[in-house]
């Protein structure tokens, strides 16, 4: 043990060669979406303030928000919000002591990914349907 051999190979787990477990990706995405949503509150504040100021200020917001790129950002914002919410529920179950078994955690992780897309899509479809645009 006295002589320390320095190996040239990378130490494990080295993220560049390490195959990401599913839970790792979900966990990182939870934090990334959380931080993104924090920045997204500025869009929410802009929407509310513009609406409160009147039709003129609101028109500026609407022009940006209703542009295809604006709607893409808003769709991404809601996608991040739904993901963070669903994975948050997964965390609450863990906090209560359920779902720790690896196969279960993998299944719920995949379920979070799938449900995020399904639920966000359904809500937008319902909203556009109620506007008579679908």
Partner 1 sequence: MSLRTPLARAQGLGSAKSGVTHFWRQRATAVALVPLTLWFVWTVARYTGAEHFEVKHFFANPINASLMLLFVLAGLYHMALGVQVIIEDYIPREGMKLALLLLSQFAAFAVAVICVLAILRLAL
* Nearest Cα residue to 44 out of 86, 90, 80, 68: 80
Residue 103 makes contact with partner 1 by CB under 8 A: no
Q: Which residue has the tokens 């190996």?
A: 7
Nearer to partner 1, 18 or 94 (CB): 94
CA distance 4 to 10: 16
Stretch of residues binding partner 1 (CB under 8 A), selected from 2-10, 14-22, 65-73, 99-107: 65-73
Buried/exposed 99-122: b ≥16 CB within 10 Å, e otherwise = eeeeeebeebbeebbebbeebbee
Task: Region of 97 please: left (phi>0), alpha (psi -120 to 50) or beta.
Answer: left
Nearer to partner 1, 93 or 102 (CB): 93
Residue 29 has which token pair?
């995405």
Nearer to partner 1, 26 or 82 (CB): 82
Residue 47 makes contact with partner 1 by CB under 8 A: yes
Cβ 102 to partner 1, closest distance in Å?
Answer: 24
Residue 38 makes contact with partner 1 by CB under 8 A: yes
Cβ 22 to partner 1, closest distance in Å?
Answer: 22
* Helical pair 55-66 and 68-95, crossing angle rounded to 10 deg: 80
Positions touching partner 1 (CB under 8 A) are 31, 34-35, 37-38, 41-42, 44-45, 47-49, 51-52, 54-55, 58-59, 62, 65-66, 71, 74, 77-78, 81-82, 85, 88-89, 91-92, 95, 119-120, 123-124, 126-128, 130-131
């Amino acid at each position: 043990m006295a002589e320390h051999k320095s190996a040239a190979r990378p130490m494990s787990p080295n993220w560049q060669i390490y195959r990401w477990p599913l839970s790792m990706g979900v966990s990182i995405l939870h934090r990334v979406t959380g931080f993104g949503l924090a920045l997204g509150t500025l869009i929410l504040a802009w929407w509310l303030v513009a609406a409160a100021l009147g039709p003129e200020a609101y028109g500026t917001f609407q022009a940006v928000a209703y542009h295809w790129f604006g709607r893409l950002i808003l769709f991404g914002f809601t996608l991040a919000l739904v993901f963070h919410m669903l994975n948050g529920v997964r965390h609450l179950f863990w906090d209560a002591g359920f779902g720790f078994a690896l196969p279960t955690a993998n299944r719920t992780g995949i379920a979070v990914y799938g449900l995020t897309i399904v639920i966000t899509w359904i809500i937008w479809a319902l909203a556009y349907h109620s506007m008579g645009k679908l």
